[in-house]
Chain A
Amino acid sequence: MDSKQFEQLLEKYWNCETSLEEEKQLREYFRGEVSGNLKETADLFRYFETQQEQAVVGSDFDAVVKKKIKQQQPKGKSVSMIFNVARIAAGVLVVVTATYFVRQEVRKAYPPEIVDTYSDPKLALEETKKALMMISKGFNKAQKEAGKIKAFNDAEEKLHKQGKNEETI
């Protein structure tokens, strides 16, 4: 490659019009000695080449990676299974807790005293009779007391009438 061709190629490179093959040619060219004004450009291409040699430090890198991926294998599966089980368990827990609280609320709204306590209708009838008898006893007692008040009223009326008769005489 003569210097004119080379300059054209380099210009193409700066304009991003070179193919990979042409870029390879440039790198090869710059491996040799170059004139003063292209020294820095040569350094750039040499820099690109030295960078290609950079490699991972540590010869046991492959072994470390292989060990790590072997550790990953079972762990990944069990984690996802535990996760699924935990999701289902959480769902069930929510439902159970909700049911418990709803039951509690329902019990509060309908206190047990109101709920019928007698399962045997005969026993219930007896109990009702007893209660009614107690009430009627109370009424009778009250009526007796009220009879006394009536005697007072009669006496008062008699006195009133007598008073009136005396006025007319």
Chain B
Amino acid sequence: MNLEMFETQVLPTKNKLYRFAFRLLGNSEEAQDVVQDVFIKLWNGRDQLAEVQNMEAWCMRITKNLSLDRLRARQRRSTDSINHGFEIRHEDLTPHERTEIHENMQQINHMIAALPEKQRQVIHLRDIEGYSYNEICEILELDMNQVKVNLFRARSAVREKLVKMNAYGL
């Protein structure tokens, strides 16, 4: 891969990679660092990239792996609750964005952040990024069955909470 291919095929995926890393890490700065690391890693291993058919899915897979590495390192370091890192931090948003986000949206954000790791990954890739089941299998290195089970559980958990929100105004 030359620099031109890198600029046309790899660099444009940056926002998708960033969103995925942000979903996993809950921290904008760290998510950007991960995306940079992904690009550097891809560039250093560019000789082996000829076999990769879906470059975007490949980038997403490396993003997932590097984000999880960071999460594990963070969990080893901190004695805080494990859920701490999963919260989407609202101080990362601009005041304008903060007012834009409806209260319900914030609750949805927390709902998804509270899902188990795999379910959170699957619902993000399907409902936000719009990937096909096959692509999700490739990115998460899971089989079709596991992807569907995780998506079903994630959507069911979200649905249940939405019903509660509707019924009790929670």
Contacts and interface: CB of A to CB of B under 8 A. Distances in A.
Interface stretch (B39-47, B48-56, B65-73, B75-83): B39-47
Contacts of A62: 7, 11, 14
Given A44-B158, A69-B39, A50 B105 contact: yes
Interface string B3-17: 100110001001100
Nearest to B43: A69
Nearest to A57: B28
A94 interface: no
Looking at chain B's contact residues, is the secondary structure mostly helix, strand, loop, or mixed? helix
B129 to A, nearest CB: 7
A39 B59 CA distance: 36
B152 A57 contact: no
B35 A40 contact: no
A47 interface: yes
B99 interface: no
A43 interface: yes
Nearest to A43: B104
A99 interface: no
Contacts, number: 84
A100 interface: no
B128 interface: yes
Contacts of A50: 100-101, 105
A56 B28 CA distance: 8
A66 B155 CA distance: 39
Interface in A32-47: 37, 39-41, 43-44, 46-47
Contact of B105 (A15, A16, A20, A43): A43
A23 B109 CA distance: 20
B105 A68 contact: no
A62 B13 CA distance: 11
A127 B124 CA distance: 100
30 contacts: A13-B155, A14-B155, A14-B159, A20-B132, A23-B126, A37-B166, A39-B104, A40-B104, A40-B162, A41-B162, A48-B127, A50-B100, A50-B101, A51-B19, A51-B128, A52-B128, A56-B14, A56-B32, A56-B35, A57-B32, A61-B14, A61-B35, A62-B11, A62-B14, A65-B36, A68-B36, A68-B39, A69-B40, A72-B43, A72-B44
Given A20-B132, A57-B32, A62-B14, 10 more contacts: A41-B162, A47-B105, A50-B105, A61-B35, A64-B36, A65-B40, A66-B3, A66-B7, A69-B39, A69-B40
Interface of A: 13-16, 20, 23-24, 37, 39-41, 43-44, 46-48, 50-52, 54-58, 61-62, 64-66, 68-69, 72, 76
Interface of B: 3, 6-7, 11, 14-15, 18-19, 22, 28, 32, 35-36, 39-40, 43-44, 100-102, 104-105, 108-109, 126-130, 132, 148, 151-152, 155-156, 158-159, 162-163, 165-166
